[in-house]
Structure 1
């Protein structure tokens, strides 16, 4: 099977990370991905310290493999969360929505690997300079909060400018995507939407079915006028948000309208009025499998694709 330096860096079998999606990346999903040979990641979102502590305790009962925790640096609880993660000696930390620079020395002292998510070359170079062990470079094809550059164009530009390993994210769901990312210079991939449609993912079945039923044009972007664009599946909520943006609604109005919408979709199963965050790859996903099946399928297909390329 394909091995890269990410496998060695994170002590995992396959170069596949699971995205640390808020409300979605629970301990059950993360443990299943880690047990299947990838790196499972618990998503903190804006959860308080005690909730995250419970999740870490649970995952250590479900797997003896490496796992990670995603920290949203804009969380009101971020300092408490960082203190907890250091105390618990979590193996891998991925970060988003901010600069983890002031925390990196603490993680380095205990051997924790720090992998920020970045949407540009400039931020990738900055993260390398402050001591990141690797970076997740996310293209605009991804679900949730996004940048503007595509994965295909962004990955080779970043890999040309940094010396630390790059992990590609955005628009990747199968073995073809993995091989393409490696060809562009990445050393691994982070996958989100494909792992939503797994047996172990605890999101409402309506959420999973919305992805499975989606087509290539259903993952759209809202919130560009706020400066914080989000990719979600088209529904009644997106229609209303787009109408508000056309009416030049202010940022406060738009953000207030969106409060609690992700939970409404993930937990309550309201996929018309909730925020169904999903990537452009949604139209490719047609079934629900175990995490082990997903990872094995990706690796088997990647080997076939690589062999066919080498035979040309």
Structure 2
């Protein structure tokens, strides 16, 4: 039944998980989950509670190790283990983060099923993880990066098409997926633009081992994202309003339009620097920005390049800007990372209901395709050129 909570529509409907051979893939076999559906490690969103809900629902979840404070990371891992009865989940990290090696050591210590990463570890570190039985599943946005990841020892690869949220490449999923499938022999997980069973069925039919979703899991009742921020995502119905900007850190970043981004994009070099410094100073406790440092940075920019320096400051300030929307619930003062698929989502489900609904729909789609193929096989065979 529909329920209103803080002006956000929540749909609760009973679901029963299907059981189908069509959904038994290399992903489910290697990761030990029931359905080939992965919950990605969104910063400030993929906490222990979301991973627990995903695991219980039959999917595979990744903890966002890049935004969990180092002193709390081990406790979050133990929370998932205690709630789910095992280490059948993953941990995400980036090698540029200060506690990257802590993430590696914890993944090995607790024999987590997998790690995911973007800017990944070197071959030696990957070998250590693999020797401990931890599967290495990097996320890539280009064919060349997929090939490099396999060379370094990746066990599986997640490809993210340009429709995906946050930092993303420029190649759509429908082009990138077949490119990578043709080029590598490891299982491939498709990400970027997925939220339905039809999408899962199409990915499996193309040869993927499963799908990964970020935005759709963020828009569930199990996500810690504040209601005000979820409401902002639910209010977007035009995919063109979820677009790529380079104004935050110079890299391709898919976001929802909001007042902060519009102001940043409209600003000239000096004004952009003012915005970057002002934002950093406003959250000075988190960023370490003092008034003296702010003034020194400003005069340094006047002598050098204000545009480049503003980009550096904004890049450093990015985690706090993301925190403003995803933790503090002030969507117009932060960054709203999200995939274009958000425009097609109009309700919040539990993670379990979401997973079961996608699995049931995918199973039905694949059954229809197979049944249709069997019924038309003689006619098609007769018409084949000899």
- TM-score higher than 0.5 here? yes
Aligned residue pairs, count: 312
The alpha carbon displacement at 1:257 in A equals 3.7
SS of match in other structure, 1:250 = helix
Q: Does 1:51 align with 2:72?
A: yes
Q: Does 1:301 align with 2:352?
A: no
SS of match in other structure, 1:164 = coil
Across the aligned residues of Structure 1 and Structure 2, the Cα RMSD in angstroms comes to 1.9
Larger radius of gyration: 2
Q: Deviations over 1:162-209 (max 9, x none)?
A: 000000011101111111212222111111111111111111111211
TM-score (norm 1): 0.94
> d(CA) in 2 for partners of 1:26 and 1:180?
29
Aligned to 1:14: 35
Stretch of structure 1 that moved more, 264-273 or 101-110: 101-110
> d(CA) in 2 for partners of 1:212 and 1:103?
41
Gaps of 5+ in 1: none
Aligned to 1:271: 331
TM-score (norm 2): 0.77
SS of match in other structure, 1:160 = helix
Gaps of 5+ in 2: 1-19, 273-305, 374-386
The alpha carbon displacement at 1:110 in A equals 1.2
Q: Deviations over 1:73-122 (max 9, x none)?
A: 22121122212222222221111133443311111121111101111111
Please identify which structure carries the higher helix content. 2
Stretch of structure 1 that moved more, 190-199 or 43-52: 43-52
From 33, 41, 44, the equivalent of 2:54 is 33
Q: Does 1:23 align with 2:44?
A: yes
Aligned to 2:181: 159
Q: Does 1:127 align with 2:152?
A: no
Q: Matches of residues 1-312 of structure 1 in structure 2 within 5 Å?
A: 1=20, 2-64=23-85, 66-215=88-237, 216-223=239-246, 226-244=249-267, 250-257=307-314, 259=317, 260-310=320-370, 311=372
> d(CA) in 2 for partners of 1:118 and 1:245?
32
Q: Deviations over 1:136-167 (max 9, x none)?
A: 01111111111111111000000000000000
Stretch of structure 1 that moved more, 48-57 or 24-33: 48-57
